Homo-oligomer: A and B are copies of this chain.
């Protein structure tokens, strides 16, 4: 999609930018936006502050670049799965799988992403915030469609609004990934999507009760 005409200099710039982003990601996810100074980031990345400011207009811009990049990757990966082939069950399983894969590959950024999609975040002046919410919302809609379609196929029972089910599967996968984040060894589960799916799929109550 992109022209491959990159001068040596340009490749170097790209590399430097990545180095800076990597340092910033690590620090932000560890200590939170407000508890990291530009100096600290520059030092960690082994550049002078001035250089940092050559690449990013200001601290907020740097932060946004990080979130935008992650959000891009994330959104794209999820999209591929949701638009891919397979019946409803497969799609949901793939969704859970894909999410886990991305998260495990980007552990440090994930904390930031959680903070953005969940909590009051640390309130980067909205803007990006909104963009992420929107992408997230769109995912939920797409997932809701899968549930809807499954219901129309008689493959699923209408135990709840499709949108609510979408919220549920999203929230459950987050919760389990969170569990894994805190103690990766004690929870080998998220790698197995069925642990999560079963909770939605199999009825808890013994069939035959209220």
Contacts and interface: CB of A to CB of B under 8 A. Distances in A.
A118 interface: yes
Given A168-B175, A175-B170, A200-B199, A205 B156 contact: yes
Given A115-B119, A122-B32, A203 B201 contact: yes
Interface in A62-80: none
A202 B199 contact: no
Count of identical protomers in the assembly? 2
A15 to B, nearest CB: 28
Interface in A155-185: 155-157, 159-160, 164-165, 167-168, 170-172, 174-176, 178-179
Interface of A: 29, 31-35, 111-112, 114-115, 118-123, 154-157, 159-160, 164-165, 167-168, 170-172, 174-176, 178-179, 189, 195, 198-207, 209
